[in-house]
Amino acid sequence: MRKFLTRAVAAVVIAASVALVAPLAAYASGTQPNSGPAPTTSTSTTTSTYPQRVKHLDLSQYKQARQEINQTFKNAVFVAQAIFQSAKRQATNAAGRSTARAAYELALAQAVEARDIALTNLGKPPSH
């Protein structure tokens, strides 16, 4: 039960992280979502898990990116709550409930961390 719950929470966190990074990567590359593949002329040899700070966004793009980050965070919290409620109902003893609570708190901490990183990479609003 504990392994299943841990794997489920990890899958949710990974999915939320991918959902957070994908729109930011599109904005950072200068292309709009669903506008086709981005050019692959990059000469960078380093790879990073997180996109670099986003630059040159106009105010509407900034607001849209921030809304997407917040919506992804809300979805991650909702999924974590649903998994916690399901695990709590299936728990037959205090140890099971404690494990479910610990997994829930871990999922929340990871969602907050992913949101904080995305907001940091987004940067300050444009000053137009």
State how many domains the chain has.
Answer: 1
Residue 83 maps to a domain: yes
Can you tell me the distance from the alpha carbon of 45 to that of 17, in angstroms, rounded to the nearest whole number?
A: 23
Q: What is the pLDDT of residue 40?
A: 45
Report mean pLDDT in 10-residue bins for the chain, 128 residues.
55 55 49 45 46 66 94 96 94 94 96 96 84
Domain span holding position 101: 2-32+50-122
pLDDT at 28: 47
The pLDDT, as a whole number, for residue 38 is: 46
44 in any annotated domain: no
Q: HSE of 70 in the Cβ direction (CA atoms, 13 Å)?
A: 6
Cα angle 117-121-126, degrees, rounded to a multiple of 5: 135
Please indicate, yes or no, if residue 37 is contained in any of the structural domains. Answer: no
Indicate the pTM of the whole model.
Answer: 0.56
The whole-number pLDDT of residue 125 equals 87
Q: Are 122 and 24 in contact (CB under 8 A)?
A: yes
**Which of 110, 96, 27 minimizes the C-alpha distance to 62?**
27
Tell whether 86 is covered by a domain.
yes
Q: Is there a contact between 107 and 9 (Cβ–Cβ < 8 Å)?
A: yes
